[in-house]
Each structure stands twice: as C-alpha cells, then as structure tokens.
Amino acid sequence: MPLRKIITYPDTVLRERAEPVTNIDGKVQQLIDDMADTMYHAPGIGLASNQVGEPCRVIIFDISPKNEPHDLVVLINPEIVEADGAVVSEEGCLSVLDYSAEIKRTACVTVKGLDREGNTITLRKEGLPAIVLQHEIDHLNGTLFIDHISKLKRELYKRRLKKILKKKESSVQRL
C-alpha cells in the first residue's frame, strides 16, 4: 500500500472539519489501508484521515506493544456519546512537529461509529485508548492538541516552529 504524506501544522487543511462518510466503498477501504501503513511507518499510534489530506471522518489507532501483533481499530464517523472523569497526560502528534505537552482530557469515553464493513460499533475506553480517541476525533473537527495548551505556550511553539521550518528551507539545495 502506498504511504501517504502526513500533513503538518500550520497547513490549513488540519483546521477543516471532516465530512461524514456516506458510502464505504473501495476508495474508503484503500484510504484505511494507506492510513494504516502510513501510521505504522511514521511510527504513530493513531491517525485521522484529514492528516493525510482526506477530509472525511475516518480514524485509526493501534496501541498494541511494538513486539506484539498489530491490533488496528478503524472507526468511521466516530462520535463521543459519553465522557467522564479527567486525566492529564503527555501528548504529541504526527502533524505537530517536534512538540509534546501535558494535555487535560476526559478519562473515560464512549464512542459510537462504524467499522470498516459498515457495522455499528460502540467502544468504551479509558486511559490511553480514551486519550487517543479524543485526540483523533479532535482532528476530524479541525482541532489540534496544541489548541488545549495555553496561548503563551502555543505562541512559543509557533515561534520555534518558524525557526525549524526556516532552517529546513535553507538546507534544501536549489537547482
């Protein structure tokens, strides 16, 4: 399966709200397979479709240990229907370069959606799976984890990112 380019902040596509999937066809199946290959190659533990430039409501995640078989979870049109408790944990993101921060999330969530065959599924998760679900669903709504940090920290990150991007740009050889 081809690897997709992971879109990074500040690309505006990350701020767009993804559209519901109305037909789980071969194109959606291919997207799911491509997303899985891309996520595992990155490596990451979760990916939302708009992170690879497809503004539809598809997320995947796999929090299985590296030395165990993959346990890929696919959710189409996921929606948080219940949430309780609070937890603070360190988060990073494949679309937010070189940054992680402590983020306050809901400790336990119930999410409804469709599996890749179109069957309705309900997941009740806590701990890391709950955090990953919230993080990826945020992506579908155009929200990044850095939107959950203070404005000051976000501005400091933006300044640092500009330097990183400028350095990358200056290191590209001109033809």
The residues that are catalytic are 136
Q: What φ, ψ does residue 156 adopt, rounded to 5°? A: -60, -40
Q: What φ, ψ does residue 160 adopt, rounded to 5°? A: -65, -40
String of DSSP letters for 79-139: EEEEEE--EEEEEEETTEEEEEEEEEE-SEEEEEEE-TTS-EEEEEEESHHHHHHHHHHHH
Task: State the CB neighbour count (10 A cutoff) for residue 148.
Answer: 17
Question: Which helix (H) or strand (E) covers residue 100, if one does?
Answer: strand 96-105
Task: State the CB neighbour count (10 A cutoff) for residue 116.
Answer: 16
